[in-house]
C-alpha cells in the first residue's frame, strides 16, 4: 500500500511542485491553500472527511479507498518537499539546453530531473514512512482491509508478537542502509 501510494503521489506531487514554482497563474493561491490543508488538518478530520466522501460516492471501504486516501495526503508532503528543492533551481540551465537544440522532454529528463532528484528522493522517503505509519486515516477508510498499522494496533492489544519486532527492525535497517547509500553517493559526486 505504501509503495503504490508513494509512487503515484510522487509523480503528481512533483508535477505540482514544478508547476507552482515555474509558472504564475490565476488560482495558484487556492492550490497552495489546498496543499497546506492536509499538512495542518488533524488526521481525524481528514479521515472523517474522506470517509464521508467515499460514502457519498457509494464506494465500499477497502483497498481502493485506502490507496486514494494515502495519495491525497502524500501529494501535499511531496509537493512541499520537492517545491523547496525546485525553488533553488537555476532555470537558465534549461534555457541553455533548449538553446543548444534539446527538446523540452530531453531537457526535462537530462537537465531538470537529475538536479531535483535529491528532493524527489527525500519526498519519496518521507511519504513512504508517513503512509506506512498512518493509522488514523487508514482506520476510517479501511473497511475490512488490514494494513500494517492496523495489524500492529490489533496485535498490540493482546501481546506484541515477534513479527512486529522483526518488521520494525527491517524498516529501521532499510532506512539506515538507504541513508548510508545516499551519503556515500553524495561524497563520491563531490570528490569526482
Average pLDDT of the chain? 87
How far is Cα 27 from Cα 132, in angstroms, rounded to an integer?
Answer: 32
Look at residue 160 and give its three-state secondary structure.
Answer: coil
In contact, 46 and 73? CB cutoff 8 Å: yes
- Within its chain, how far is the Cα of 106 from the centroid? 25
Mean pLDDT of 85-102: 87
Total-model pTM = 0.77
pLDDT of residue 5: 93
Question: How would DSSP label each residue in 17-63?
Answer: HHHHHH---TTHHHHHHHHHHHHHS-HHHHHHHHHHHHHHHTPPSSH
Confidence of residue 188 (pLDDT cuts 50, 70, 90): confident
Mean pLDDT of 114-123: 89
Higher pLDDT, 6 or 29: 6
pLDDT of residue 75: 93
Amino acid at each position: 500500500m505504501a509503495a503504490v501510494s508513494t509512487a503515484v503521489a510522487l509523480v503528481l506531487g512533483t508535477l505540482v511542485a514544478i508547476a507552482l514554482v515555474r509558472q504564475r497563474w490565476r488560482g495558484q493561491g487556492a492550490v497552495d491553500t489546498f496543499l497546506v490543508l492536509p499538512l495542518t488538518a488533524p488526521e481525524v478530520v481528514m479521515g472523517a472527511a474522506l470517509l464521508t466522501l467515499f460514502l457519498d460516492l457509494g464506494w465500499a471501504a477497502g483497498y481502493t479507498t485506502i490507496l486514494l486516501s494515502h495519495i491525497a495526503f502524500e501529494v501535499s508532503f511531496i509537493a512541499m518537499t520537492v517545491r523547496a528543492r525546485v525553488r533553488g533551481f537555476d532555470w537558465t540551465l534549461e534555457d541553455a539546453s533548449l538553446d543548444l537544440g534539446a527538446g523540452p522532454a530531453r531537457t526535462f529528463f537530462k537537465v531538470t530531473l537529475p538536479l531535483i532528484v535529491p528532493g524527489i528522493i527525500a519526498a519519496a522517503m518521507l511519504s513512504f514512512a508517513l503512509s506506512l505509519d498512518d493509522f488514523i486515516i487508514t482506520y476510517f477508510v479501511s473497511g475490512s482491509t488490514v494494513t500494517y498499522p492496523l495489524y500492529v494496533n490489533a496485535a498490540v492489544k493482546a501481546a506484541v508478537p515477534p513479527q512486529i519486532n522483526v518488521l520494525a527492525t527491517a524498516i529501521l535497517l532499510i532506512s539506515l542502509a538507504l541513508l548510508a547509500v545516499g551519503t556515500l553517493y553524495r561524497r563520491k559526486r563531490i570528490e569526482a
